[in-house]
Structure 1
Amino acid sequence: MTEPNLRVRVLARALRELRERARMTQQEAGDRLRFTNRKMSRIETGQLPSYHELQAMLDVYGLVSTDWPPYLAMWERAKEKGWWHTYGIPNRGYVPLEAQASEIRSFQLGMVHGLLQTEGYVRAVFTGAADPARHTPASVARGVEIRRRQRRVTADEPLRLHSIVDHTALRRDLPCMQEQLAHIVMVAELENVTFQVIPPGIGAHAGLSGSFTVLSFPSPADPAIVYVEHIAGSVEVEKEQEVRSARLAFDQLASLALSHDESVRLVDRMAAEL
């Protein structure tokens, strides 16, 4: 099962901190709330409590009612449904995290990052997938429709995107590649977008084990998350040491890659050659 979305994580962490400040163990708090240990653990790792359960927790943790509003507001934000619900995407996984991020640093070994993909590219990737049961015509259409997430890159307060891609991903034999490459060149003109290519001739590097994305959020209190997608699903990592390792790997890849300007010129030439 995928991890809970950021807003639920924020509330879960706040409740855990309140319990610890009250010098209660999970067992002690659960006994007073009539919650099982399992339920306490689920709430503190990202299960949204009911409104009345939240109020009971705040009371047991010793907060006076005048101090409740910030936590009630967190709960309201956590239960809000984002635009992605319209497309059948649950309030978990990558898309909600991306929607709440302020900066994305992504290395892609085999594909163009989703925020840079054209409709033709999305269709080609989905329809060429190995699992036709998973990628039905309806799921392909949904994949195209949720390209609306790309609006974050051109919003009034735009998402900062640093995308590094291996050159092999740009040489896929797809009918849409000229359009896709031209689109990358256009988006790369935005000040909030950095685009780099790992060129041919680079030997072993940190990205050979696979693609990964580091998502950072507006508040320093919200820890960065590393997202890794694989053939059987995905993994979201919050552990500080593992996030630090991913950042170091990304920095190494950025130092090996062509500069932004060199990368854009390369992609422009590749598009012209098609």
Structure 2
Amino acid sequence: MSDPTFRQVRLGDALKRLRERAGLSQREAAFRLRYNYQKLSRIENGQLPEFPGLRAMLDLYGVLVTEEAPFIDMWERASEKGWWHPYGVEDQGYLSLEHDAIKVCEFSLGYIPGLLQVESYMRAVFLGWQIQHSRKWIENQIAIRTRRQQRLDDSSPLQYRGVIAEAALRQADREQLLHVSDRGLLPNVTVQVLPDAAGLHDGQNGPFTVLDFAYPGEMSVLYVEHPAGSTHVEDVERVKAAKLVFKHLSKLALTPDESAEWIGRLAAER
């Protein structure tokens, strides 16, 4: 079974909060719903309930009929298969996060960020990985990454801020550098270069991404990739700390205009 999507996890969280607001323990609620305890636990951790089960929970938790609409909407959206499903992607973690985000702040240390990559760069990255993948897997990954980039040009576009370390840009060719500059001209995209001259800084602990969402009361999420996979952090204080680090890196970096000039000079050398 694949991991629950971001929308499914959010629905589970919302149902858990309703249960707690109603003053019911998980075991008490499960008994009154005629569920076993494990089933309710799975639902609150992101397993999608059947629609009659959702209505039964809302009724038990004291949600009035006139107040049901937002939760039904959450259930309907959580029921949708992500656009990435036909590509056979198993780990939906970041894709489902980014799909629902309205703003992404990303610090990149070693690579050009995925939302700013050209196809030739993507291919070089995937072929350079230690673990070898099939041609079909690589083509699927390229198609997915290209599809993700469409959000920068949507009618309601994703707000994107990227701080890119100098080392990552110096490994890119002219086509890739010019593409980064071109994307930086979009009103919803901000690109900054963090030069080596900035010295030692918190960003050298590794790249990270912070995503913000439009849902009322929705907390931000910190996403960090590592050699063994990835980690999502929703703890308010830890996410706040990551946002402060990103703000500090933005101040250390060249301004967007200075960054565009710097990238342009580097591209001219290629």
TM range, smaller chain: over 0.9
Counting aligned pairs with the same residue, the percent is 46
Give the partner amino acid of 2:16: R
Question: 2:135 is matched with which residue: 119, 131, 137?
Answer: 137
> Which one is further off, 110-119 or 42-51?
42-51
Deviations 1:41-99 (A, max 9, x none): 22222221122221221232233555434322221110101211122235831112112
Quote the Cα distance in structure 2 between the aligned partners of 1:3 and 1:260. Answer: 38
Q: How many residues get paired? A: 269
Aligned to 2:214: 218
The answer to whether 1:255 aligns with 2:254 is no
Distance 1:219 1:56, change over 3 A: closer
TM-score (norm 2): 0.93
> Unpaired segments of 5 or more residues in structure 2?
none
Aligned to 2:151: 152
Question: 2:227 is matched with which residue: 220, 226, 231?
Answer: 231
What does 1:31-180 align with in structure 2 at a 5 Å threshold? 31-65=31-65, 67-90=67-90, 92-132=92-132, 135-146=133-144, 147-172=146-171, 177-180=173-176
Contact 1:106 1:162 in 2 (8 A): yes
Deviations 1:1-28 (A, max 9, x none): 9963332233112211221221111121
Deviation, 1:247, is: 0.2
Distance 1:59 1:208, change over 3 A: same
Quote the Cα distance in structure 1 between the aligned partners of 2:228 and 2:242. Answer: 21
Deviations 1:152-173 (A, max 9, x none): 111111111100011101122x
Contact 1:81 1:91 in 2 (8 A): no
Aligned to 2:203: 207
Contact 1:102 1:218 in 2 (8 A): yes
Give the partner amino acid of 1:236: H
Give the partner amino acid of 2:56: A
Deviation, 1:199, is: 0.4
Quote the Cα distance in structure 2 between the aligned partners of 1:254 and 1:67. Answer: 42
Contact 1:85 1:91 in 2 (8 A): no
> Which one is further off, 10-19 or 76-85?
10-19
Contact 2:207 2:224 in 1 (8 A): yes
Question: 2:266 is matched with which residue: 261, 264, 270?
Answer: 270
Give the partner amino acid of 2:134: T
Give the partner amino acid of 1:164: V
Give the partner amino acid of 1:148: R
Deviation, 1:115, is: 0.6
> Which one is further off, 144-153 or 121-130?
144-153
TM-score (norm 1): 0.92
Distance 1:98 1:21, change over 3 A: same
Contact 2:2 2:90 in 1 (8 A): no
Contact 1:8 1:78 in 2 (8 A): yes
Aligned to 2:13: 13
Quote the Cα distance in structure 2 between the aligned partners of 1:141 and 1:170. Answer: 24
SS of structure 2 residue aligned to 1:258:
coil
Give the partner amino acid of 1:189: L
